[in-house]
Every structure is written in structure tokens, then in C-alpha cells.
Amino acid sequence: MALAITEEHADLSGVVREFAVEQGARAAARRAAVDPPVPGADPDPLWKQSAGLGWTGLHLPEEHGGSGYGLPELAVVLEGLGREVHGGPLLPTAVASALVARHGTDEQRAALLPGLADGSTPASLAVAGSIGSDGRGDAGPALGAVWAALHLVRSGDDVVVLRGDAVRVSARDGLDPSLGVAAVAVEGSGEVLVGAAASATRLLRVLAAAEAAGGARATLDMALAYAKVREQFGRIIGSFQAIKHHLADMQVRSELAVATAWDAARAEGDDGQADLAAATAAAVAVDAYLQNARMNIQVHGGIGFTWEHDAHLYLRRATALSALAAPLDAATADVAARVAAGVRRKHDVALPPEAERFRTTAREFAQRYRSAAEGEKRRLALEEGYLVPHWRRPFGREAGPVEQLVLEQELVGLGLPNYGIGGWVLLTLTQTASPEQIERWVRPGLLGEQVWCQLFSEPGAGSDAAAVQTRGVKVDGGWRVTGQKVWTSGAQFCQRGLATIRTNPDASKHAGITAMVIDLTAPEVTVRPLKEITGHSMFNEVFFDDVFVPDEDVVGEPGAGWGVARATLANERVSIGGQRAGFSARKLLGLVDRHTPGDIGLTRQVGALIAEEAGIELLNLRAVERAVIGAEPSVEGNVSKLLGAEHGQRVSELGMRIAGAAAVTGGEPDLTLNYLYQRAMTIAGGTSEVSRNVIAERILGLPREAIMN
């Protein structure tokens, strides 16, 4: 929901947002739109107040008047102010001071940083263009130029710092006057920050992405608030599925913006990782802000198109940031270029001291496991809780987030089994079955003596898991079950399945369901594999022809099966959300090299998908970081299934375009197979449409769609 994860950052974020609201940052942006500032004007009073709070020097060394923090804290400030479309010279001044601190000489730092830190010397920034080698010429549009006492302009690989008397500033009719953009022509000499141009681009992208993350969230909140109260056709518009899906997509974009901006602010070093993270954030976060700002107006309808409404202020800001601070084409091209050059973003989660204790025990187990006889390895892992370490004892170790992270690192390569769907079912049994049932089913399942599947979907139900028509009739000692299940993954290899059965047709839809374990080896059960569009058979139809299910195989109470099903579906959706795309976006770069070398347009599209893929991984990383430090969970996990499924399709579809004829004539068989397979991913485990409804209703709090007579 916000960049801040730690308690300290959350406190800072709260202070910034309270300040921006109470001091009328949005009203200042509106004033600038009505009466644009001209060169030589004083910044809005909010500038001095921000400087007085120390935000202009937050990231600078204390010996030069700063607070000694870093880019992560500055990003938190920019995000909070971005929620109220705060303008003024903070963005260019913050980048300027960071450049001086990093690339300036001792003399330059001593001379320039105190005024930048205390706000008495606002700065402008122009890095999109470049002045000539003679140090003269048009520097192009500069952020904050109308107020600036210092002007930083690009000159090749360097950045030149110029005083006001060395430049000519010309006002322009800009889309967002609150940013103080003006044309800067260099007419005198200045001081050179050697090799600072790349840093300028990176820092501007990072801080623009942080502001964009705030703006993307603000526009979502604005649209959401309106959708909850506006009525049309006698209904709240937020109950319409079309509006829900718009808002769910805004939520997804907002989460991606936060995740990528957060990572870019943390990235350090000169190995290309920081530049890759910044380009990724620029490609994802700033574009997310722009799309959300547009959709905010759409959701508001006519009122959103009026000057009086604030929606256009956000649209102006998002568009200006996209053009001046983080152009999408340049960012996606940079992502592709850096990944093609072998740069990979590496993430290390800081673990507490107890991690070493877990590491020692894990290594000792790994040694015993490798030494054990082949037929005893799985039993040894089960006895010591390493098959499913996050489960409760006696099957798992009740491993918390720290131990789970250590085990992922230490047990890689051991070949421990992945239970897939069977694991979701077995975990559900530990949560809902009787002790006798747990002993009878779970241990054999974990040892591989029984393979399990999930028997929920039916021909007339699909994603509506409660629309069960398979009937169970009570008989002496148990139930007679008749009906059909479909889309059952791996049923042809399974001996047991957890099924939802309609046992009370007179009860309400959710109350008349009973959960039962079906013996798939019974003669009354027929499993028929379904040949899919890939030519393979992963799914199955399963027919029950008066199969007998004893009472001791009923899980929970009769009629209470929906709760059992919901537990399994929760396990399933979390697991699916954690999966990565079957055909990574990075592989598309090889396709470009083979089939469309030099096509910059396709390369940029690949870069956009690589950035999106990184954002999905970062959502999971943020969830891990929260868990490790004990912070409250956020909503990252709720959007990952939707994102992952649709991302996988976008990757395979672009791959087919790149490969062209080769993709349909056998030249790229892995790509072609993945392209066909990915069609299932927005259906399996709940369709993308259902996922959007879940996000809209359970996370955003929108009402369910009314059933029309």
C-alpha cells in the first residue's frame, strides 16, 4: 500500500501525508495552474515549510547541513507528497544535491550543499538533452527552473552546475505549471560534476517513481471513494462489474508502482543493479500513475472532466513526469539493454541472528539426508519436519518466515518433493479433518503412498466452486455419490481426491455442501483424461456412478463442506500466486536476437515485460520483508495470481509476434507450447475476472453486484 515497511518509515510517511493535506499542497498545485509562476518568482510558501522540516537535506551528510539519511527516506517523502500532487522545486533540488554529494569535489560540496540542504538555494534540473562541448547552448526544459538559483544541465557524460547569471530562463506554457518548468539556455560557464549524467538520470527516475507511487495510490483512492457513493440506474456504480474491474486494475498498478519504487530507492552499487532498478521503476511506476490518472477521470465521468475537480491535476502531473523525468520508451529500452548485458537485480533479505541456528540445523539435516538410503530419504525428511517445514507439528517444523528463508537457501538441490495440488489438499486436511483421518491420510500422502487431487469444479460451475450439482444421498453407514467433476488436474495419477458434494438440495447454496474423500480406485469411479489445446492431458473428467463413501471419509460435519473448500481454495490461490512465468520475459531477448535483430520497438516491449516481471517478484519480496520484521501483512499476495497469469500470457504473445513464422512452423517449439499452455492460466484456480471481483470486493470494499430481476 505504501513504500514504508519499517516502523520508522511508516512514521515518516504519516507525518509527510499529514503535512501535505493540512498545508494544502493540492491547492497550491491548483493555484499554479490558474496563475503559473514566472522566472524569478519565489516558490510557494510550502517550499520553506518543507525545508524547515528538513526534507530538502534529509539525504545529505550532516557535515553539510543534512540529516544523514539516504535515498529510501527521501523516496518516502516524495511518495507522501505525491499523494497530494505537491509541486515546487523539491524534486529537482533533491536530485541536484544528491549529485553534488556524490560527484562533487570537497570544495564543491562545501560551497553548494548547505544552501541546497536548507532550501535557500533551490535548483533546476535538465538532463533530457545536452549542451554542446563548448559549454553553451539550449539545455532544454528544466524542472524547477522558474525558481532556481542553481541550474544543473547535462553536458555529455557530465553535469554542469550554473549560477543564475550564466543562464537565460524562458517561461513556457506547460501542462503542469506547479513543476516550474522553463527553457534554459546556457550563456556562461559553470562547475562540472564529472561523470554525473548517468547518476542524474538514475536519481531522477527513482524519485519520480516514488512520487508516481503516491500519485497512483491517490488516484485509486479518489476513484474508489467516488465509486462507493455515486449512484446510476438506481445502484452504486461500484457494484457494476465493469467499474470493479477498472478499480481492481488500478489497485494492481498501484501495488506494482510501490514495489518497484521501493526497490529502486534501496538499490546501491556501481555494478548496474541500481541503474536497472531505477529503469524498472520508471517503466512501471510512472506509467502506472499515468494510467491510473486517466482511469480516475473515466470513473468520475463528466465531473472528472471539469476544471473544478482535482482529477486533472493528477493527470497533468503524471503526464509531465512521464515526459520530463521518466520517459517510458527510454526506460524500457534501458531495462532491455542492461538485462541483455547480463545485469541481474539481486535481493538479500536481512535476517536476524537466530537465522544462523536454523542454518546449522538445516545443514546437518542435509548431510543426513544425502547419506540416507534412497528408500528412506522421504521418511527421514518427514520425521524431522523438512518435507513441509511451514506446517504444524508433527508433520512440519512450524517454521516461521526466517527459518523458511534459510531452508530455501540451504536445502536447494536436495530433490525434496513438490506436492503441488496434493499439498494444498493435505494441508487442508490438517486444518479441517479429524485426528483419525489426519493419521490415516496425511502421513501416507506425504510419503508418496497416496497421491491426492482436488475434486471441486463441475461442468456447470467453473469458477463458482459453490455451484455443486454432484449429489450425495445418505445410506446406511455412509453416502451414495453420483455426478461429475471436471478440470481435475492429475486425477489419472491419483488414488484419493477431496470432493465437494451436494448433500442437502433444500439448503442454501453454501450450506448444503459436504466435503468427502473419494477413493479414486473404486470401480464406480471413472477418470477420463481431457486432451487440451497443447495436445497434452493435464486435466480430467471424473465420473461418480453411485460410488459409496463411508461416514468416516466425510471431512468435517455434513453440510459444512464449504468451509473445507474455502480453506483449500485459499491454499491454492496463494500457491499459484507464488509461481513464476513458465517462459520468462528475459528469454524474449534471445528471440529478438534470432528473429528481429535491431528492432527497437519490439526490444522496448520486451523491456516493459521484464520490468513487469521484476515488479511481480518484488511484490513477493515485500511480503517476505514484512514477515521477517513482523510487520502487518499487506495486499501484495492478493494480486500476484492475477498479475502472474496475465503476465505469462503477455510474454508468450509477444514471443509469438517476435518469432513470427518460426513460431508456427516448428522453429520455436518451447515458445509455441507455452503460448498454448498460458491460455489456461487466466482460468485455472479462478478466472482473472473472478480475481478482479475478489480484489474489488474484499480488498477495496466495493459492494457485490446486485442480481437483477
**What amino acid is encoded at 236 in this protein?**
I
In this prediction, what percent of the chain has a pLDDT beyond 70?
Answer: 96
pLDDT: which is higher, 583 or 204: 204
Residue 583 in domain: yes
Nearest Cα residue to 421 out of 597, 579, 284: 579
Lowest mean pLDDT among 306-310, 388-392, 505-509, 571-575: 571-575
Average pLDDT on 665-689 reads: 92
**Residue 658: CATH number of its domain:** 1.20.140.10
pLDDT band at 270 (very low <50, low <70, confident <90, very high): confident
pLDDT band at 576 (very low <50, low <70, confident <90, very high): very low
Given 549, 574, 599, the domain boundary residue is: 574
Residue 217 in domain: no
Measured CA to CA, the distance from residue 20 to residue 26 in angstroms comes to: 8
Between strands 496-502 and 452-455, the pairing is: parallel
Residue 83 in domain: yes
pLDDT at 573: 47
Lowest mean pLDDT among 200-204, 478-482, 688-692: 688-692
Residue 519 in domain: yes
Residue 304 in domain: no
In this prediction, what percent of the chain has a pLDDT beyond 90?
Answer: 83
For residue 666, the tally of other CB atoms under 10 A from its CB is 8
Residue 276 in domain: no
Residues 40 and 182 in one domain: yes
For residue 292, the tally of other CB atoms under 10 A from its CB is 29
Given 574, 605, 620, the domain boundary residue is: 574
Give per-residue pLDDT as tens, 226-246: 999 999 999 999 999 999 999
Average pLDDT on 498-503 reads: 95
The domain of 640 spans: 577-699
**Is residue 574 predicted with pLDDT exceeding 80?**
no
Average pLDDT on 4-26 reads: 95
DSSP three-state, residue 5 = coil
Average pLDDT on 687-691 reads: 90
Residues 508 and 449 in one domain: yes
**What amino acid is encoded at 1 in this protein?**
M
pLDDT at 201: 97
pLDDT at 647: 95
Average pLDDT on 77-85 reads: 97
**Is residue 577 predicted with pLDDT exceeding 80?**
no
pLDDT at 709: 40
**Is residue 572 predicted with pLDDT exceeding 70?**
no
Mean pLDDT, rounded, of the chain:
93
Residues 552 and 642 in one domain: no
pLDDT band at 466 (very low <50, low <70, confident <90, very high): confident
Measured CA to CA, the distance from residue 119 to residue 47 in angstroms comes to: 8
Give per-residue pLDDT as tens, 88-105: 999 999 999 999 999 999
**679: its cell numbers:** 491460455
Residues 99 and 22 in one domain: yes
Residues 560 and 610 in one domain: no
pLDDT at 461: 73
Give per-residue pLDDT as tens, 432-454: 999 999 999 999 999 999 999 99
Residue with cell 527497437: 600
Residues 615 and 570 in one domain: no
Expressed in percent and rounded to 5, the helix, strand and coil fractions of the chain are 55, 15, 35
DSSP 459-498: TTTTT-TT----EEEEETTEEEEEEEE-S-TTGGG-SEEE
572 given a catalytic annotation: yes
Provide the angle, in degrees to the nearest 10, between the axes of the packed helices 636-659 and 600-629: 160
Instruction: Tell me how far CA of residue 187 lies from CA of 93, 165, 166, 168, 569, in angstroms.
Output: 21, 8, 5, 7, 67
Residues 559 and 585 in one domain: no
pLDDT band at 2 (very low <50, low <70, confident <90, very high): confident
Residues 560 and 587 in one domain: no
pLDDT at 575: 43
pLDDT at 661: 97
Residues near 468 by Cβ (< 8 Å), separated by ≥ 6? 458, 461, 500, 501, 502, 513
Give per-residue pLDDT as tens, 49-69: 999 999 999 999 999 999 999
Residues recorded for the chain = 709
Residues 134 and 11 in one domain: yes
pLDDT at 706: 62
pLDDT: which is higher, 623 or 356: 356
Q: What is the CA radius of gyration of the chain?
A: 29
Residues 28 and 143 in one domain: yes
For residue 669, the tally of other CB atoms under 10 A from its CB is 10
Alpha-helical regions (H) of 195-306: 197-227, 241-266, 273-281, 287-300
Lowest mean pLDDT among 207-216, 288-297, 507-516: 507-516
**Is residue 615 predicted with pLDDT exceeding 80?**
yes
Q: Is the peptide bond before 353 cis (omega within 30 degrees of 0)?
A: no
pLDDT at 1: 67
Residue 592 in domain: yes
Given 178, 195, 212, the domain boundary residue is: 195
**What amino acid is encoded at 88 in this protein?**
G
The long-range contacts involving 618-622, CB below 8 angstroms and separated by at least 24 positions, are: 618/259, 618/260, 618/262, 618/263, 619/255, 619/256, 619/259, 619/643, 620/578, 621/259, 621/263, 621/347, 621/349, 622/5, 622/258, 622/259, 622/262
**Residue 490: CATH number of its domain:** 2.40.110.10
Residue 191 in domain: yes
Lowest mean pLDDT among 308-312, 451-455, 682-686: 682-686
Annotated active-site residue in 572, 612, 636, 668: 572
**Residue 49: CATH number of its domain:** 1.10.540.10
**Is residue 571 predicted with pLDDT exceeding 80?**
no
Residues 490 and 376 in one domain: no
Give per-residue pLDDT as tens, 328-368: 999 999 999 999 999 999 988 888 899 999 999 999 999 99
Average pLDDT on 32-40 reads: 94
pLDDT at 226: 97
Task: Let me know: does 445 contact 452? Beta carbons within 8 Å.
Answer: yes
Residues 605 and 690 in one domain: yes
Task: Give the number of domains in the chain.
Answer: 4
Average pLDDT on 509-520 reads: 93
What global pTM score does this model have?
0.91
**Is residue 638 predicted with pLDDT exceeding 90?**
no
